[in-house]
Amino acid sequence: MKILANDGISELGKMLLEAAGHHVSTSKVAQEELANTINQQGFDAVLVRSATTVRQVVIDACPGLKLIGRGGVGMDNIDVAYAREKGLTVINTPASSSQSVAELVMGQLFSISRFLNDSFKNIETGDFSTLKKNYAKGVELRGKTLGIIGFGRIGQSLAAYALGVGMKVIAIERRARIQPIHLKIAGQTLEIPVKVVANLAEVIGQLDYISIHVPKQPDGAAVIGPKEFALMKKGVRLVNTARGGVIEESALLAALEDGTVAAAALDVYENEPNPMQALIAHPKIACTPHIGAATIEAQDRIGEELAELIIAFAKEA
């Protein structure tokens, strides 16, 4: 197969594919040239991450395309149902980036609890004594309650880390249940039950921290908007590494201004790659540029999983 990895693929993934006899191109093609390039160069498969979209117009324009692959979890940048209806195979790698995203969230939780993002920006030019006073009201994670909205692989991986630092965890998902979380410490495995509730409104007022791990909603509606902010505990801290739009950004800014939200951390935005300047410049928001899965280890796992899926597909074709 001839494969265009338009948003890149790890060296391990590329090596495995080429060892199996496939040709892999990692040359970046502009979105508006994607269909022409696929057709002119005869690509059988296109692999994307979050930067490239594969919509109906591309699918219709590329009759020779057989497979679309997403290196990561969410596939809202691909018209999945339409592609499958047209006979294309669509694959993704839901398990490969769970740990890296969970670790980013933990880093963000520490950061927004101790003003690390804002103090880093100001320490070089600010007055040390004044800054020390400004950042003297940090809080500890231990003993606080973390609400995890969406409790799939990433949410459960985050729960293990949060439990490990002494946080209480409540998960919110469509199906209420008790979910065992396996916590590995010093060669031992502990099983800790986590309560999963189906109604966010019932528990949102108990939460000191909230982390969101749900896909973009089919109707485009925010999961967290003015109604949810109105129910939150004063001084809650919020993290979004899921998708832009699951938090209503204007409502978040208002909640930061009135003190409902003490701080927020965002890795995803409604208008990527050009986020709202008010978010980036806000002293109470720690921003990262959609790097949840951007670790060497995760990219190797993603590349390896993509390669295995493509090799299996080619054998069956």
> At a CB cut-off of 8 Å and minimum separation 6, what does 264 contact?
112, 237, 238, 239, 240, 252, 256, 284, 285, 286
pLDDT value of position 34? 98
Of 243, 248, 249, 282, the active-site residue reads: 243
Of 18, 140, 272, 297, the active-site residue reads: 272
pLDDT value of position 69? 97
pLDDT value of position 217? 86
**CATH homologous superfamily of 98-287:** NAD(P)-binding Rossmann-like Domain (3.40.50.720)
> At a CB cut-off of 8 Å and minimum separation 6, what does 109 contact?
141, 146, 162, 209, 211, 237, 239, 265
pLDDT value of position 95? 85
Active-site residue 272, yes or no?
A: yes
Active-site residue 32, yes or no?
A: no
Please report, in angstroms and rounded to a whole number, the separation of the first and last CA atoms in the chain. Answer: 11
pLDDT value of position 192? 97
Cβ atoms of residues 16 and 303 within 8 Å = yes
Domain ranges of the chain: 2-94+296-316, 98-287
Q: Rounded to 5 degrees, what are φ and ψ at 177? A: -175, 175
Active-site residue 177, yes or no?
A: no
pLDDT value of position 17? 98
Record the pTM: 0.90
Q: Rounded to 5 degrees, what are φ and ψ at 176? A: -70, 140
CATH topology of domain 2-94+296-316: Rossmann fold (3.40.50)
Residues in the chain with pLDDT values less than 70: none
Of 290, 301, 304, 305, the active-site residue reads: 290
pLDDT value of position 89? 97
Do 2-94+296-316 and 98-287 agree at the fold level?
Answer: yes
